[in-house]
Amino acid sequence: MKIRRAVITAAGRGQRTLPLQKVVARDGNPKSILQILCDEVAGAGIEEVAVVVRPGDDSAYAESIEGASVGVEFIEQREPLGYGHALACAGDFLSGEPFLHLVADHLFVDAGEIGCAHQLVEVAQVQEATVSAVQATRETELSRFGTVGATRVAGNDRLYRMTRVLEKPTPTEAEQSLHVPGLRAGHYLCFLGMHVLTPSVLEWIRERLGSGDAPVGLSEALDAVAQIERCLAFEVEGQRYDLAERYGLFAAQLALGLSGKDRDRVLSRLVEVLMQRELDRE
């Protein structure tokens, strides 16, 4: 299974302006969030990217990624019919192929030299299945993420087979339905905002939309497809940063700075700020 295309969804309410924000990337250059996401997918071997946007937003997005390292086209979601509908808007672009999907209001910072998307795509191509990136997450944060119940795949301590998927479950729901053997108490596998999806997932979404059921969520689709075919979850080596949460953009910038070429400079500035705060208190 070869993954050649990616879809980045950027039309959600409260999501549309975040990808245009600029931060200093790990290479020390100012870039928009969308540019960094394009670099992420290019590093995974992706050849073409579709960005799903609200009508009229394409020009601003195009300007923010001038000189992108991958081919990009913009697809309008003409009606605000939800997450699943946004993915379905890219159906013609995908031509029935499996694809990498990222949300535009998250930033991903890998723990080493291999990008999170690259790790995920490699696993999906070997396993020839839908694979979602996940991260062990405290139960106090479940209200922000899709969450997976799963069993470990033999021989790989970071790969799981999904059994259930619930969107933003309560701790009680998670305890009842989303247990994962081997995780620390009070922790669950939550989505990172990055998936490799097979055509089955998009077909299920389109069928539901065709029957008049809207909005349709990705978690709902994955829960249904996982009951009829093998769907996997993979703990990538890296972290997600939800830009929409309070101080999310700041946390993402800090993570980029501390893992990039200007790490020593960033650390020095942090020490200076903290020392000055202490002096001001005296």
* CATH at residue 92: 3.90.550.10
The pLDDT value recorded for residue 13 is: 78
pLDDT average, residue stretch 68-84: 90
- Residue 59 DSSP symbol: H
The pLDDT value recorded for residue 152 is: 94
Rounded CA-CA distance 216/263 in Å is 42
* Short-list 177, 155, 182, 157, CA closest to 166: 177
The pLDDT value recorded for residue 213 is: 65
* SS3 call for 269: helix
* pTM for the full predicted model: 0.93
Rounded CA-CA distance 72/87 in Å is 16
Higher pLDDT, 205 or 17: 205
Contact 164, 149 (CB under 8 A): yes
Buried b (16+ CB within 10 A) or exposed e, 45-68: bbebbbbbbbeebeeebbebbeeb
Please state, rounded to an integer, the average pLDDT across all residues of the chain: 93
Contact 48, 95 (CB under 8 A): no
For residue 73, what are the domain limits? 5-281
Range list of H helices, the chain: 33-42, 58-64, 83-88, 91-94, 116-127, 171-177, 199-210, 218-225, 248-258, 263-281
pLDDT at 12 over 70: yes
Number of structural domains found in the chain: 1
The pLDDT value recorded for residue 17 is: 87
pLDDT average, residue stretch 2-11: 95
Q: What is the CA radius of gyration of the chain?
A: 19
* SS3 call for 108: strand
What confidence tier does 15 reach under pLDDT thresholds 50, 70, 90?
A: confident
Contact 19, 72 (CB under 8 A): no
The pLDDT value recorded for residue 67 is: 78
What confidence tier does 217 reach under pLDDT thresholds 50, 70, 90?
A: very high
The pLDDT value recorded for residue 275 is: 87
The pLDDT value recorded for residue 280 is: 78
Residues 229-281 pLDDT 10s: 999 999 999 999 999 999 999 999 999 999 999 999 999 988 898 888 877 77
- Residue 142 DSSP symbol: G
| Whether the bond into 181 is cis, omega within 30 of 0 | no
pLDDT average, residue stretch 40-50: 95
Contact 20, 34 (CB under 8 A): yes
Range list of H helices, 91-233: 91-94, 116-127, 171-177, 199-210, 218-225
Higher pLDDT, 113 or 24: 24
Rounded CA-CA distance 197/212 in Å is 23
Rounded CA-CA distance 279/11 in Å is 45
For 72, 109, 180, 253, the CA distances from 262, given in Å and listed in that order, are 29, 15, 38, 12
Rounded CA-CA distance 119/235 in Å is 9
pLDDT at 162 over 70: yes
Q: How many helices (H) and strands (E) does the chain have?
A: 10, 13
pLDDT at 221 over 70: yes
The pLDDT value recorded for residue 1 is: 87
